[in-house]
Amino acid sequence: MNYFLSFIFPFSDELNSQHFYNYLSGLTGLSAYVQKCEKLSSFHNGRGIKNTCAKLLKYLDFDTISTNKDNKYDACMLLNFWVYRRLFDYLQTVDERYLHQAYANLQLIWNDFSNDKLKNTGNETCRPIHNLSLYKDWKERKELYEYYVDYDDFSKKLLIWPDKCKEFYEYVERKKTLYNHFNTGCPSKDEYRCPKFYSEYEKYHPDKVLHQLTCHKEMNKKGASSPASVGDLSENTLQDMSSSRTFSPDSSQLKGDRTHPATKTGNILLGVVVTSLTSGALYRVNIKSLIIIYRILFFKIFLYYIAIKKK
């Protein structure tokens, strides 16, 4: 489960992408697949990387989702992003080349497994995106695709859950910085500058959809995005504030970066306050944003305490 996303969007588990990621993360009974991933054990955090590989193979073994042509979205792309993000989380404290090497090795295991399945069953399955590691903005591409996958279904759920509109409004509004990132390179046929099918993603641009939400007038009055709002930060920035370089997934051990987690988050909080003072608009600070940041701070202190206790 993406614990941090639930801080910034309380209903994150209702999103299609998070539901899919939670399913992958919760896969068990991996003993039949771990051995096939043994060559990954030499990497930093090799045990966790092997575990990710084994979950991938188990999913592929029973996959009926990613190749279903009737799907509204490409689950195979979500699977690729999930795998790459997990590798990044495990290897972010070491040189970037190890991330590329680990992904290349995992691709070989992935393709061999898929080829065997195709040979034995005749069923094609999801394949790795071979050049994913070449995209410097892979985090933004991941976030954009997740937003595309999630928007339509959740916006329809608001008809029966109107109380969730304000949180969803703020979630959508945060995506403005994401679209601004891609505006410089899109539209373009060059996939290294602009994601494939970007024109499809544009229909959910916040400027095009916020006014359709039932709480738009109310949120507009309140000025949902204040100068010091967390909405000014992308979800990737917020996620990295949470995971930083101190912890890897499935681990509470302190690694690499020696800066105290509370100090880092405290500095971020201080930056928000200073920015507000400078703009002369401290009174307009979004209280929800500060609550979110304080939650991050206390969460980091909690993780730090656990790590110390386990030493």
- In a domain? residue 31: yes
Q: Which domain holds residue 101?
A: 3-134
What b-and-e string marks burial along 42-70, b requiring 16 or more CB atoms within 10 Å of the CB? Answer: ebbbbebbbbbbbbbbbbbeebebbeeee
Burial grade of 96 (CB within 10 A; 0-12, 13-18, 19 or more):
exposed
Chain segment 17-34, per-residue pLDDT in tens: 999 999 999 999 999 999
- In a domain? residue 210: yes
Q: Are residues 218 and 237 in the same domain?
A: no
Q: Are residues 118 and 57 in the same domain?
A: yes
Which of 175, 199, 225 is the C-terminal boundary of a domain? 225
Determine the Cα–Cα distance for residues 280 and 135; give it in Å rounded to an integer.
Answer: 39
What b-and-e string marks burial along 190-211, b requiring 16 or more CB atoms within 10 Å of the CB? Answer: eeeebbeebeebbebbbeebbe
Q: Are residues 8 and 125 in the same domain?
A: yes
- In a domain? residue 168: yes
Of 224, 228, 223, nearest in space to 277 by CA: 228
Q: Are residues 18 and 97 in the same domain?
A: yes
User: What mean pLDDT do residues 73-95 have?
Assistant: 95
Chain segment 117-147, per-residue pLDDT in tens: 888 887 778 999 999 999 999 999 999 999 9
- In a domain? residue 181: yes
- In a domain? residue 177: yes
Would you give the DSSP letter of residue 192?
T
pLDDT at residue number 221: 86
Q: Are residues 200 and 247 in the same domain?
A: no
pLDDT band at 87 (very low <50, low <70, confident <90, very high): very high
Q: Are residues 90 and 103 in the same domain?
A: yes
Q: Are residues 157 and 76 in the same domain?
A: no
First to last CA, the chain: 25
Determine the Cα–Cα distance for residues 65 and 262; give it in Å rounded to an integer.
Answer: 41
pLDDT at residue number 5: 52
- In a domain? residue 311: no
Which of 134, 162, 182 is the C-terminal boundary of a domain? 134
Q: Are residues 8 and 130 in the same domain?
A: yes
- In a domain? residue 51: yes
> At residue 51, what is the residue type?
N
Torsion of CA 92, 126, 21, 207, to 10 degrees: 90
Torsion of CA 237, 255, 105, 145, to 10 degrees: -20
Q: Are residues 139 and 237 in the same domain?
A: no
Which of 225, 250, 268 is the C-terminal boundary of a domain? 225
Domain total in the chain: 3
What's the length of the chain?
311
- In a domain? residue 242: yes
Chain segment 236-283, per-residue pLDDT in tens: 655 565 554 444 455 433 344 444 444 444 454 445 444 444 444 443
Chain segment 176-219, per-residue pLDDT in tens: 999 999 998 898 989 889 998 899 999 999 999 999 999 999 99
